Every structure is written in C-alpha cells, then in structure tokens.
Structure 1
C-alpha cells in the first residue's frame, strides 16, 4: 500500500485519504451508536424504550379504559371492535392468564401497562382482569430501521463530519505537507549529486529548522567537494615539480663521471624525497583538520603578555634590519592558544617573506570577537587574488624552488583555524602600503 501511495500525485492521495476516512467514519459512527444505545439511562440521560412507550401511550390507554367503563352493556371485545378502526395497529383482548415474558409481567403488575421492546407491543390490564394487547406499534428507533434508511443516515452523517474534519486538517497541515515534500525533493537532488539543490524557506515551525539544516548541509557538502577537487588538482601540480627533478637527477646519475658529481645528484634526490614526504605530511594534516570535528582547547589568555611573548619567539626568523612592532589591548580573552599561535606565526612569517622592512602585529577584543591584524609594507595582494590566497597550494609567487620552500598552505591553515573558531580571515590594503591580513575569531567569554 505504501509503495502504491508513493507513486501517486498529491491530488490522488487526497482522494484516497478522503475515501478511507469516510469509510472509517461510517464504521466509527455505527459503533458509537451501538455503544451509546447499550449504556444505561443513568449515564446517557435517555430513558429506556419501554418507559418511553409506556408513558407516551397513557392517553390512549385512559381513553380505551374510559370507553369500556362507559359501555358496561357491551363486552370488552365489542368495545374494542368498535374502536379498532380508529387505530393504526391491532388491538386484541387477551385472557388474564396469558403467558407473558417475566419482565413484561412484572411491569404490568406494577404499572398496569407494560411494553415489550422485542415485539413492539403494549399490554394494558383492565378492571375485568382481561388484558389488552396493542400492537405491534410501528415506532422503531434508528438502530432497528431498515438497512437502506439507516445506511443513508450513517453515510450522510459521516460525509458531513469527514468534510468538516478534513477541511480543518487540510488547512492545519497543508504547510507541513508542502514543506516535507520540498525537503524530500531537495534531499533526493542532493543524493543524485546536484550540490546546488536548496529547499525553499519552510513555512511551518516544525520543519523550518530541518530545512535550514539541510540547506547548510548542502552548502557544506558543496564547499568540501569543491575544496577537495581544488586541492586534488593543486596537490597533483605540486607533486610534479619534485618528481620531475628526481627523474632528471636519476638520468644524470647514470651519466655522472665522478664520485663528487654522483654525490651531488644523490643529495638532490634525498632532498626531493624529503620534500615529497613533507608535502604529503602537511597535506594530510590539513585534510584531517578540515574533515574532522575539531575540539577547541579554550584558555583564558592575557592578550598583552601573549602577544609580546609570541613576537619575541619570532625574532630569530626576522630578516636583517626588519622592524616588527607588536600592539596589544590590555585585556583577556578565551580562545585556543595553540591554534591562535599558528595563525599569528603563519601571518608574521608570511610578512617577513614579502614585506620590505616593517610589519605591525595588533590584537584586540571587539564585542565577542578577538581580532588579529598584521600590516606590512610589501607589495600587497591585488584585489583579484585576495580570495585565492587562502586556497590550499595557492601562491602569488609561482617561482618556488627547493630553496625558497613553502607549499601555499600557510594562509589556508589561517582561514581554516578561523572558521573552526566561528570566525573569518580576509586581506585588504594596509596603511603601510602593503597587505593587511585580518583574522577575527569568536571569543569564548
């Protein structure tokens, strides 16, 4: 049944649900009537049929008795025969010793009248000790009606109740249904590889968070796939350089004429192997950090003390006659100190490489963020390359050799660590004339 429903359109499903609901409502209505009829009058407040019939026929019984008393010269049967044309049901005179059901007999002795619900007959005791039998009286309740009228009643009652119920349910859940259909279609498109698939804004409060999570997941998956493709192509390009040098060095090794020349080529091979190992190591480290859920080790850090210590540790890496200025707000912030060290060290080492003679490192708190700013007086980063410099294996300087080093992962690490801190990293023009790298991370305060 569920497989069939999944292949039907929305309108056809509605019709099937409506018909099913109507059938169930008919069954429920009939069952409810049976249960209600079986309940005692003390609960339902509706008197039993024999009581209703006995009370409703009091006037008729009194008039018959009055006619019998006024016509003493006639027998009871003669009076009844004279009255019979006035009634729509038969009236019969029974002897006093006629056999009656015990419950009817008891009621007749107590009230002078009794009603047999099974046969729809009213019994009346007379002063002459005879018993009048009135009926069968055709006054049945709905449960004793003919099948067709009863079925029509149940159907009409169910139809109206289903229509009202369905309208209420439709307007109450139509937004839930549409949102669920949109979310399912988006999930199917994502599963088929359409990474641009996004669900519409959900109208219902129940599925609004689910739609948001699905859209965020789509964005994240697309980012991961795009980044992975970029990294794969970039890494393949990075591997070509040392492999080409190794191939050249191997061919030249066979042609070497002296031990000194062979030693030089072997040294070159060792260095290229080391470079390959280093490239693979840093690449795997970056992939691991990117793919896994990284847990931050948050620490309360005094910004001024931390920044001064960090700048001092990098003194040996500065070029000659290079000026490094450190400015810090005298405050504390909660962040991962190891990852933040990595951010600042990568940015400052980058400044040492490209700046002319000066770099300024500033750190301060702004609302719920900790902001790192590195200015330099180098050539800067052209506007069209400012997004690309944070991509893995991306370098503006394409002339990297074994001596210059670097794989273009330093700034990629900076951006990734910033995102792990729910922050961001970007580059603009510095007041010093070069590049200004800005990293804002969320403080745990």
Structure 2
C-alpha cells in the first residue's frame, strides 16, 4: 500500500518535469511556425486577407502631404522648388528631397507613380511623388508598420513573446487534458512490471480515462486468470504428488513384504497388489495427462441440432443401471430441438449424475431446459450438501472434500473439474447452490452464442 502511494506521489513531479521539456521544445517549434505564418500571410493577396499592403497604406497616408508640397511649390514660382522644400523642412519629421525623374525605381513604384502620382518603396521606406517632367519628390524614410521590416531584435522579441504565451496556454491545456492519461498509463505500467516480477496479486487501480478504462479491466481480468491458473496448477501439482505417493507407498510396502516372505505362495498376493498399484499409477497418469491436454488446448464444441428429450432419454437409460439400490432417480427435459455438442454434454451429465449417485442419500433429480437462448443443466440430490465456503474447491482437480474416501469410491477428483472446463468452453459457467431436496444443487449453464 505504501509503495502504491509512493508511486502515485512520484507520478506528478515526473510528469511535470517531462512536460517542461515538451514546453521548451514547443517554444522553438511555435517560433518557427509563427515566423512562417507571418511570411505566408504577407505573401497572400489583399483580396484574400482583407489587409492592404504597406505600400498602399503609405501612399494613401502621404498623398495629402505630397499634394500640399506641390501646392506650395506652385504658389511660389519666384522661388525654386529646392528653396520651397527647405522652407517646409522644419514642418516635417522626415527629409524632403528633389531627385531627377530618370532615377531608377522599382516596377511597383513606377506603376504607382503612373496611376496615382505617388508611390512607396518597400525596400528603402521612401515616398516618391511626381513634380514635373524633370524632377520627382522624395521624402522619408517612413516609419514602417510591418513587423517584417522591424529590426531583428524587435522581430524575434515579438516571436518569443507570442510563442511563450501560446505555449503556456497550450501547456496548461495539455497538462490538464493528459495528466489523467499519463497517470493511468504509469499505473498500468507499474502493474505490468509487478506481474512480470511474479506478484500475481498486483492489480491496476480503476482508470479514470475512457481510453484506458477497458485496458485496465482487461489487464486485471488477465491477472486474475493467471493467478487462478497458477494457483490451480500448484494445487494440482500437490494433489497429484499426493495421489502418486499412496500407490508408491503400497508398492514399497509390498516389495518389503516380498523380501521377508519364506515361500513362493506368500509372494503371489503381493505381486497381484503391485500389479493393481501399477495399473492405478497408469490410470492416474493417463487421466492427468488428458486433463492437462484438455486444459491447455482450447475446446472447440462441435454443435449440432439435437432433440433434447430423445438425447437425454438414451443417456439416462444407460446411467440408471449404475444407480445404487433403493435409489430414486428422475429426469425431465423439454422436447425441443437445441444445438449442443453431445459428446461434451454427455460428459457433463454423466459426471453430475454419478456424483449424485455417490453422495445422495436416496434421491437425485435431473432437469434440462433452455432460457434466454442458454441451456441449463441442473442436478439436485438429498445428500449432506456442500458448505458455501467449500463449494469452489470441488471444481479444483484432484480435490476431494471427504478425505476418508478410498480409490474405489472417491475416484481422482477430476470429474467436476472436467465439467467446469467444458462449461467454460461453451462460454458458460457452473456453480453450486442448496437444493430443495436438502442436499447440493449443481447448475451448469451453456451459452448457445459461442465465441468465434
């Protein structure tokens, strides 16, 4: 518990540190994205952006200044144009000049001069206006409103500020949006590592995100199945070792008695006993191998439509001959067509009925019916019943609740384990309740809608 709390506390600092690294990377990426976006936006035509180009803005702003200068020059013919500009210069924050009309200008400026009589050069930030055939007005440089024309330091300062603000906002959104996903991911990883190290009781805490909630459920289910399988195998190994120990002990005793025998007649009974014990060992090994094989390989039922009443009548007629004396056995079954694997279902019914013959006092009942597209097989007896705390044990291989039973009456404790395997192969289940007859009631549910 302490370890899980410690892991929980360490998740968030680690996530925060990792997120800061991502924030720094994002900062640089955002800067390049911002720069590229500005360049691309500046290249788009005014018809798309709705923002006029700077040369248009400057031309419109300075048209009045150019007209006033022209008017002043025209109203004072006694002075040269240069003298008029010199008088007007103190009124302007930028330089006023006269240049020859033959000066080399950009195509954009020439076109603007031809159509509007005034033009702005984006390269040097100067305004050019027509005056007469031989001279042009030139004034500037003008303060640029285009961020691309600002000095390098100002431009990068803008980019950095924009990137920091956008990255912080994105980081906050990212943190609150993915913190739960990160925590669920780390929890699942810790659980997987614990399972890898052999801690089969490790489980994932319930995930809070929709993406990992099914994964946590599946992982916990898988861990539970692995734990159950390992525990079952351990139980089977111990039980099988115990089963093997009994005939081996008898063989060892019989060999010892044979060594002490004085006459050949005294040896014969022990030889017969050894043969029986060897046969018992062979039976135990064969039935164990068959169960292991059945457990490891997925059982695929071969389902066919069968008349349940006809099928169960033939099966029960063969079982009635094996019931004890003064024992009442009855059965009832719906006379319907139903899809089953008769070979596997025969094993279920035989094991449950023979189990009732062993432990019932005088009466057993079999009922087979279908409900919600599932087949129910129920066997009731009037025996001593099974304690609720002990019911799960009867399905464990080699498990026998009554340890006093011998090999002649108790078998190997695999019959009900077979029933459980077959029921699970049909995507069904088996459980035990208290019977109305006073004993145990075994219920097997076989699902018709098998998994593909």
Of 184, 189, 207 in structure 1, the residue corresponding to residue 189 of structure 2 is 184
Which residue is 1:326 aligned to? 331
Counterparts of residues 122-161 of structure 1 (less than 5 Å): 122-127=127-132, 129-161=134-166
Output the CA distance in 2 between the equivalents of 1:163 and 1:426.
58
Matched residue, 2:428: 423
**Corresponding residue of 2:249:** 244
Q: Which residue of 2 aligns with 1:263?
A: 268
Structure 1: distance between partners of 2:42 and 2:302: 72
Decide whether aligned partners of structure 1 residues 141 and 185 sit closer, same or farther in structure 2, where only a CA change above 3 A counts.
same
Report the CA distance between 1:241 and its aligned residue.
0.3
| CA distance in structure 2 between the aligned counterparts of 1:97 and 1:384, rounded to whole angstroms | 110
Cα distance change on mapping 1:231 and 1:84 into 2, 3 Å: same
SS at match of 2:206: coil
Of 282-291 and 162-171, the range deviating more from structure 2: 162-171
Q: Residue 364 of structure 1: SS of its match in structure 2?
A: strand
String of CA shifts for 1:351-406, please: whole Å, max 9, x gaps: 22233433222222233432222233334334553332222212233244454461
1:151-300 matched pairs, under 5 angstroms: 151-300=156-305
**Alpha-carbon distance in structure 2 between the residues aligned to 1:104 and 1:382:** 103
Q: Higher mean Cα deviation, 182-191 or 212-221? A: 182-191
Q: Give the Å deviation of 1:32.
A: 1.0
CA distance in 2 between partners of 1:346 and 1:97 (Å):
114
Deviation of 1:79 after TM superposition, in Å, equals 0.5
Query: Is the Cα contact below 8 Å between 1:298 and 1:444 reproduced in 2?
Result: no
Contact 1:89–1:134 under 8 Å retained in 2 = yes
User: Do structure 1's residue 306 and structure 2's residue 311 form an aligned pair?
Assistant: yes
Q: Distance in 1 between the 2:447 and 2:115 partners?
A: 92
**Are the counterparts in 2 of residues 334 and 444 from structure 1 also a CA contact under 8 Å?**
no
Aligned positions of 1:393-404 closer than 5 A? 393-404=398-409
Summarize deviations over 1:128-181 as a string: whole Å, max 9, x none.
Answer: 632222122232511121222222221222222223333333343333333222
Alignment of 1:36 onto 2:71: no
> Structure 1 residues 110, 323: closer, same or farther in 2, change over 3 A?
closer
Q: Please tell me whether residue 21 in structure 1 is matched to residue 26 in structure 2.
A: yes
Query: SS of the counterpart of 2:281?
Result: helix
* RMSD, matched Cα: 2.5
Normalising by structure 1, report the TM-score: 0.90
Change in 2 beyond 3 A, CA 1:95/1:438: closer
May I ask how many residue pairs the two structures share in their alignment? Answer: 440
- Partner of 1:314: helix, strand, or coil? helix
| Cα distance change on mapping 1:88 and 1:430 into 2, 3 Å | closer
SS in 1 for 2:321: helix
State the partner residue of 1:3: none
Contact 2:15–2:179 (8 Å) recurs in 1 = no
Q: Deviations over 1:393-441 (max 9, x none)?
A: 1223324445446111112222232233333333344344443333233
- Comparing 205-214 with 432-441, greater Cα deviation is found at 432-441
Q: Compared with structure 1, are the counterparts of its residues 24 and 263 closer, same or farther at alpha carbon in structure 2 (3 Å cutoff)? A: same
- Measured in 2, the distance between the counterparts of 1:315 and 1:171 equals 70
Q: Deviations over 1:263-302 (max 9, x none)?
A: 3323322222221121122122222323333222223332
Pick which of 250-259 and 58-67 moved more. Answer: 250-259
